[in-house]
Structure 1
């Protein structure tokens, strides 16, 4: 065990570097996925058949093909067509396209879930379609879609592990190197703890975002109140005994 800990100590700088790369891929892929999801989700609701059909084809294509194949195509095939992208950018684009297609259905479904009365009220206020979406519908849909987007974000984090196939030394790649110096149980045990820690922090962040989004709609306590140690009913600290 001491030898394993010593090997971990020596490999820690590279492991932290790999974790930073994993975080870059996660944040970059998630940002691109969100842009793609909102764009495709809105287009998939258009009355124009051409726009709606194009969005559906893109969504189904990237949902229906393997993320690994998409990654390989971007990294190995595009250079043969004269387009060569940095490995990090390829990883972000592949993750963004794949998970953005899944998230587009979340966006579309959440918008459709907004009560019909809200659409009617926005129309009665003589708001333009863009204003109805931006000021009335989308804020409500956003609060609805956050839990599903949280799940996809965690899936995206775990999906970053495949970038080792295109020579990116991410967290999984560094853990595999640690395995050579130690053993499978120890190295991947460290990996389980590290991935869980990252996923848990991301989940907490998304939960905070959900609380904030619902509070802006008047449907719950503020983030400050949610983080407070004081009881909302009695105004006393939750750790104090009640009389």
Structure 2
């Protein structure tokens, strides 16, 4: 285990890179999932068709191949992305394609009466989604989105395919130089477990927050009815 101490800066740098990729890709995935989920549920049909094609392509092909396309094929078509940009865009779009179905399902689960109430109150589309529909849908979508974000973290080792030295790549270098497979892989196993646990903890806090909001809304509604 002491052999790893001299390589600790390498592993820490790889950890920082992994966290950066995870955070940026998670932001992209969340935005894409939200926008595409809303369009899939209630958008104009040509937009729904375009979004549907994107979702089927990214869900139906390997993220491994998608990374190769973004980094090696797009430059042949005149679009050049840096390794980091290719990694976060592909991972974000890949996870976002799954997340869009989570959002669509959450929107579909919002009681029909809530939609009808927005129409009765003459809410604009923006106000309808911002103040009524999205807060309720988010409460339903948080748990499955947490699973997707953990999955996102788990696929970040693929970025080494496009020359990025993430945590797993640096660990492989350390293993080759020290020959200590057990300690090296145990270390990154623990690190990935801690990162996954941190993601789950954040989403649990969000779930509690939105659940409290829903309970407050229900209490006020009952009080008004009596």
* Aligned residue pairs, count: 216
**Cα distance in 2 for residues equivalent to 1:129 and 1:75:** 38
**Cα distance in 1 for residues equivalent to 2:31 and 2:165:** 27
Secondary structure at the counterpart of residue 215 of structure 2: coil
**2:110 aligned with 1:114:** yes
Compared CA separation, residues 32 and 126, structure 1 to 2 (3 A): same
- Shift of the alpha carbon at 1:219? 5.7
Cα root mean square deviation, aligned: 1.4
For structure 1, the residue ranges without an aligned partner over 5 or more in a row are 221-243
- The structure where helix makes up a greater share of residues is 2
Specify the alignment match of 1:227 in structure 2: none
- Shift of the alpha carbon at 1:166? 1.0
* 1:167-182 → structure 2 map (5 Å cutoff): 167-180=163-176, 181-182=178-179
Conserved 8 A contact 1:21-1:170: yes
**Cα distance in 1 for residues equivalent to 2:118 and 2:187:** 52
Moved more, 81-90 or 17-26: 81-90
Moved more, 117-126 or 158-167: 117-126
* 1:71-110 → structure 2 map (5 Å cutoff): 71-110=67-106
For structure 2, the residue ranges without an aligned partner over 5 or more in a row are 218-226
**2:40 aligned with 1:44:** yes
Greater CA radius of gyration, 1 or 2?
Answer: 1
Specify the alignment match of 1:27 in structure 2: 23
**Cα distance in 2 for residues equivalent to 1:185 and 1:111:** 46
Specify the alignment match of 1:133 in structure 2: 129
**Cα distance in 2 for residues equivalent to 1:81 and 1:57:** 21
Moved over 4 A (4+): none
Secondary structure at the counterpart of residue 105 of structure 1: helix
- Shift of the alpha carbon at 1:42? 1.0
**2:208 aligned with 1:197:** no
Specify the alignment match of 2:8 in structure 1: 12
**2:34 aligned with 1:61:** no
Conserved 8 A contact 1:7-1:182: no
**Cα distance in 2 for residues equivalent to 1:178 and 1:152:** 29
TM-score by length of 2: 0.92
- The superposition leaves residues 197-221 of structure 1 with CA deviations (integer Å, 9 ceiling, x where unpaired) of 111111111111111122222369x
Conserved 8 A contact 1:75-1:85: yes
**Cα distance in 1 for residues equivalent to 2:205 and 2:212:** 11
Q: Compare relative contact order (CA 8 Å, sep 6+) and give the higher one, 1 or 2.
A: 2
